[in-house]
Chain A
């Protein structure tokens, strides 16, 4: 019998499989996706948020535990678990050598991205390169990997894992790690979670999925139905405003629109709805998905003029371009009169000081609701550009409740051979909001814990098994 069965194929699953194998357990991984699509959302990630007290290989300056914790506290609005969060934070400071051992390469800090080279270690080539490295290492260590192996249910016995089922096939193992992702690819579940709004719309129908199409939440749903303790709100997720023309799945990083703070954003009624200049874009991009989801039709339009060109990351699709604002309104099919009123009001309210996109400058609006508090400059230089935005879901936060052992719990009692890691439990640490790279920190920390615990439990069972046979 297999010692440790790992269900999933992304970062957390791979970390669990590698740790379990290193501990001497036999390991079988079941990845739902075919090989070409393996790795879940990890293939779209780029970096790992890392605590460090002093400059460390690819990380500059320092990012102490307390600062990391305060950042997490701020973005989650307190919906987190301090004990588990600090565990993740501390793990993030020591896991990189282990990652390197398994073939992960980190990128030396770049002059252009220094403010993130302090808090985040970047994978050379991104998350897919990391996933490839882990699979190579796993296979070299003798981990068995099966692709196209979507588990649809488990056999449980009083909180203990007995077997996994793929259709009629039954796969038994001494222990099991669940690391099969959230439910963001499951349109029906998203629809149900977001419900119907006061306008009678089903907002989730207009969401795009930035990540894998394989996170259908099958096991998450199974575990919830089986009575496992859960945590988190199903409507909470990492949700970014992305280009409305992005593909339905796997749009990844390149569909983001980074010019929001350089212009204004209007909704379908051609009205502004939020302060575009509230804070630096890297600190604000993750709230705009939800803001857009709240708008009628779940669509918004980022409007800039030519002064912004060359100041933001180039979007993957070209903007809608026009020589005048009324022409832009027509091309975007927005109400021209209302659009021009919004633009005139905004332009008239701008109090331009010294524009500086690298700091919270003094360009702001006066007497405008909502205000734009920084980088407010009139949109007056043709040509003008518009980008339609949609909410793009990266991953959902509803998950299984855990303590620091990563054990799945039933009625607050930990299972002794069923563990969980990655998106399926990230909600314990991340109840809402997001800060770059923390998903990988959680997945790595809990993947490693789950793998270690699962191996220990399986090896103990082996010993007990031998004893009982001898007796």
Chain B
């Protein structure tokens, strides 16, 4: 068995670094000939190639290891130069496209098979179509420790955050995705400070005589509406401009009603977190779980109910002149309470799953962004529910300031944090729904 161990060490140990150093970016058949790995090029490497051995008539068992040659980057044929992370997706997609075992899991692989080359736009599209479910990592015969070191979810995650930042508007703020945990913390601290100071300035202290839940005794309604309205409109504008640029680059074609309906359905159901078989996605290991899908549903629909509560309240205020505070059994409070509970359980569950996630899954560098966003959502809900529960006490002003601070931080960072994933994901889902209805130009013989 010593011999066996030696073989394994030789094969896996020796080749892994070689892979890293020789892995070159890819495009498929049309690349620059000089950049392609040729037998002659391989021969110049330290290891003897098989053909050389054959010609020399040399016979030596187990000496046929060769450095791995990936498709070379052909600058002349690549429309835009690829970043390192995009290059890795191109490399991985080139391997996946020759294997295709994962085509049943999600939309990424069927979309991949419609392509032979992976340019920048294709890579950005596929990266955002990936839901990070993780199934293809555990199923992959080329995943680490294999020397091909294929890790689709991780490669896609790295490119995703890059697309958010590349397409961010204004462009300079794209940097906020880097060290996003810091961005969120600063936004939160700043917004909290703002509202605490305002509260003190207005009421002369953080505690006050009970005000029967009348927020507007502290912050006039129009002031709040203006502040949050502006920030919210800016967030929408910023994300809208970003995704519009993304959409143009992936050149989607025209959306039919059916395509829009399907994309909407797939987004609202989180279809691609079902694993393709309905058992869910992977989290801690190769077992499937529906928990991420369910916690995400609680988070998303909880958020939407809270949003609906605010919208209904706004209509009450401006449409009917009905002023807050609203009764516990009123529509805005009911919507907000139910949504708030969802927005407590959902993010708490997602955070728990995130902490338990398999180390090879996703991009570890993005954990602060993911967890920061989750924490902000959780705090939004927690402070909102506390405010509701204690709105008739003397702590209302303090709780209101904290809640408004948290919500302000959430709104401020919407275009520069994890929230962006939903926007770009929806755009990619729509692109896929359009694309799959178009004829496939390739006539590949299947296996």
Q: Which A residues fall within an 8 A CB radius of B?
A: 32, 36-37, 43-44, 46, 105, 107-108, 110, 112-113, 115-116, 122-129, 132, 136, 150, 152, 167, 185, 187-188, 191, 200-202, 204-206, 208, 213-214, 216, 218, 244-245, 247-250, 252-256, 258, 268, 280-282, 296-299, 309-323, 331-333, 357, 383, 385, 388, 390, 436
Task: Indicate the member of B7, B54, B69, B148 with the most A CB atoms within 10 Å.
Answer: B54
Given contacts A311-B444, A313-B447, whether A191 and B38 have CB atoms under 8 Å apart is no
A188 to B63 alpha-carbon distance, docked (Å): 12
B142-A254 in contact (CB<8A)? yes
A219 to B284 alpha-carbon distance, docked (Å): 35
B4-A205 in contact (CB<8A)? no
Nearest chain B residue, comparing its CB with the CB of A281:
B445
23 A-B residue pairs with Cβ-Cβ distance under 8 Å, sorted by A, are A43-B141, A105-B276, A107-B103, A107-B276, A123-B101, A125-B136, A126-B101, A150-B4, A187-B62, A201-B57, A205-B64, A248-B11, A253-B99, A254-B95, A255-B98, A310-B441, A313-B100, A313-B446, A316-B98, A320-B39, A357-B445, A388-B51, A390-B50
A323 to B34 alpha-carbon distance, docked (Å): 11
A322-B33 in contact (CB<8A)? yes
Task: Kindly list 20 other residue pairs between chains A and B, CB separation below 8 angstroms, not including A36-B144, A254-B95, A388-B51.
Answer: A116-B447, A124-B276, A125-B104, A128-B138, A136-B286, A201-B57, A206-B64, A213-B8, A216-B3, A247-B68, A252-B141, A256-B98, A313-B97, A313-B446, A314-B29, A316-B95, A316-B98, A317-B37, A357-B443, A383-B33
Does B40 belong to the interface (CB within 8 Å)? yes
B11-A128 in contact (CB<8A)? no
B51-A299 in contact (CB<8A)? yes
A124-B277 in contact (CB<8A)? yes
Does B248 belong to the interface (CB within 8 Å)? no
B60-A129 in contact (CB<8A)? no
A310 to B97 alpha-carbon distance, docked (Å): 12
A218 to B113 alpha-carbon distance, docked (Å): 41
B:19-66 near A, CB below 8 Å? 26, 28-29, 31, 33, 36-40, 42, 49-51, 53-55, 57, 59-66
A123 to B61 alpha-carbon distance, docked (Å): 35
B276-A208 in contact (CB<8A)? no
Nearest chain B residue, comparing its CB with the CB of A123:
B101
B116-A310 in contact (CB<8A)? yes
Q: How far is the CB of B423 from chain A (nearest CB, A)?
A: 29
A58 to B70 alpha-carbon distance, docked (Å): 36
Q: How far is the CB of B28 from chain A (nearest CB, A)?
A: 6
B11-A249 in contact (CB<8A)? yes
A47 to B372 alpha-carbon distance, docked (Å): 43
A385 to B71 alpha-carbon distance, docked (Å): 14
A169 to B11 alpha-carbon distance, docked (Å): 27
Give the tally of cross-chain contacts (CB within 8 A). Answer: 228
B59-A320 in contact (CB<8A)? no
Contacts of A255 in B (CB 8 A): 98
Contacts of B97 in A (CB 8 A): 313-314
Which 8 pairs between the two chains have the least Cβ-Cβ distance? A297-B54, A126-B101, A125-B139, A254-B98, A107-B104, A129-B139, A316-B98, A187-B61
B40-A245 in contact (CB<8A)? no
Contacts of B113 in A (CB 8 A): 112
What 1/0 flags go to B143-171 for Cβ under 8 Å of A?
01111100000000000000000000000
Nearest chain B residue, comparing its CB with the CB of A261:
B445
B29-A268 in contact (CB<8A)? no
A132-B443 in contact (CB<8A)? no
Q: How far is the CB of A221 from chain B (nearest CB, A)?
A: 13
B51-A297 in contact (CB<8A)? yes
Contact of A321 among B36, B60, B102, B446 (CB under 8 A): B36
Given contacts A116-B446, A245-B69, whether A46 and B98 have CB atoms under 8 Å apart is no
What 1/0 flags go to B405-447 for Cβ under 8 Å of A?
0000000000000000000000000000000000001111111
Does B207 belong to the interface (CB within 8 Å)? no
Does B312 belong to the interface (CB within 8 Å)? no
Contact of A132 among B7, B72, B276, B286 (CB under 8 A): B286
A116 to B103 alpha-carbon distance, docked (Å): 15
The DSSP consensus for interface residues of chain B is loop
Nearest chain B residue, comparing its CB with the CB of A120:
B447
Contacts of A32 in B (CB 8 A): 4
A320-B36 in contact (CB<8A)? yes
A245-B55 in contact (CB<8A)? no
Contacts of B124 in A (CB 8 A): none
Given contacts A299-B51, A318-B72, whether A331 and B443 have CB atoms under 8 Å apart is no
Nearest chain A residue, comparing its CB with the CB of B40:
A333
Given contacts A245-B66, A249-B11, whether A297 and B55 have CB atoms under 8 Å apart is yes
A296 to B63 alpha-carbon distance, docked (Å): 18
B59-A310 in contact (CB<8A)? no
Contacts of A332 in B (CB 8 A): 38-39
Contacts of B383 in A (CB 8 A): none
A244 to B11 alpha-carbon distance, docked (Å): 16
A261 to B347 alpha-carbon distance, docked (Å): 55
Contacts of A188 in B (CB 8 A): 61
Q: How far is the CB of A377 from chain B (nearest CB, A)?
A: 15
A313-B445 in contact (CB<8A)? yes
Nearest chain B residue, comparing its CB with the CB of A258:
B445
Does B265 belong to the interface (CB within 8 Å)? no
A331 to B33 alpha-carbon distance, docked (Å): 10
A314-B116 in contact (CB<8A)? yes
Q: How far is the CB of A185 from chain B (nearest CB, A)?
A: 8
Nearest chain A residue, comparing its CB with the CB of B447:
A282
Does B279 belong to the interface (CB within 8 Å)? yes
A399 to B406 alpha-carbon distance, docked (Å): 69
A188 to B60 alpha-carbon distance, docked (Å): 10
A424 to B3 alpha-carbon distance, docked (Å): 21
A247 to B104 alpha-carbon distance, docked (Å): 27
Task: Indicate the member of A32, A280, A333 with the most B CB atoms within 10 Å.
Answer: A333
A132 to B358 alpha-carbon distance, docked (Å): 15
What 1/0 flags go to B68-100 for Cβ under 8 Å of A?
111110000000000000000000001101111
Contacts of A205 in B (CB 8 A): 53, 59-61, 63-64
A120 to B11 alpha-carbon distance, docked (Å): 33
Given contacts A113-B446, A313-B445, whether A250 and B141 have CB atoms under 8 Å apart is yes
Contacts of B275 in A (CB 8 A): 105
What 1/0 flags go to B196-238 for Cβ under 8 Å of A?
0000000000000000000000000000000000000000000
Contacts of A218 in B (CB 8 A): 1
Does B382 belong to the interface (CB within 8 Å)? no
A437 to B113 alpha-carbon distance, docked (Å): 22
Does B177 belong to the interface (CB within 8 Å)? no
Contact of B7 among A122, A213, A317, A390 (CB under 8 A): A213
A314-B98 in contact (CB<8A)? yes
A247-B147 in contact (CB<8A)? yes
Contacts of A309 in B (CB 8 A): 29, 116
Q: How far is the CB of B54 from chain A (nearest CB, A)?
A: 3
Contacts of A320 in B (CB 8 A): 33, 36, 38-39
A245-B98 in contact (CB<8A)? no
A465 to B71 alpha-carbon distance, docked (Å): 64
A116 to B138 alpha-carbon distance, docked (Å): 25
Contacts of A167 in B (CB 8 A): 1
Task: Indicate the member of B53, B71, B103, B141 with the most A CB atoms within 10 Å.
Answer: B141
Given contacts A152-B1, A309-B116, A311-B443, whether A125 and B135 have CB atoms under 8 Å apart is yes
B54-A298 in contact (CB<8A)? yes
Nearest chain B residue, comparing its CB with the CB of A150:
B1
A247 to B12 alpha-carbon distance, docked (Å): 10
Contact of B442 among A216, A268, A310, A388 (CB under 8 A): A310
Contacts of A208 in B (CB 8 A): 64
A136 to B138 alpha-carbon distance, docked (Å): 13
B11-A247 in contact (CB<8A)? yes
A43 to B28 alpha-carbon distance, docked (Å): 27
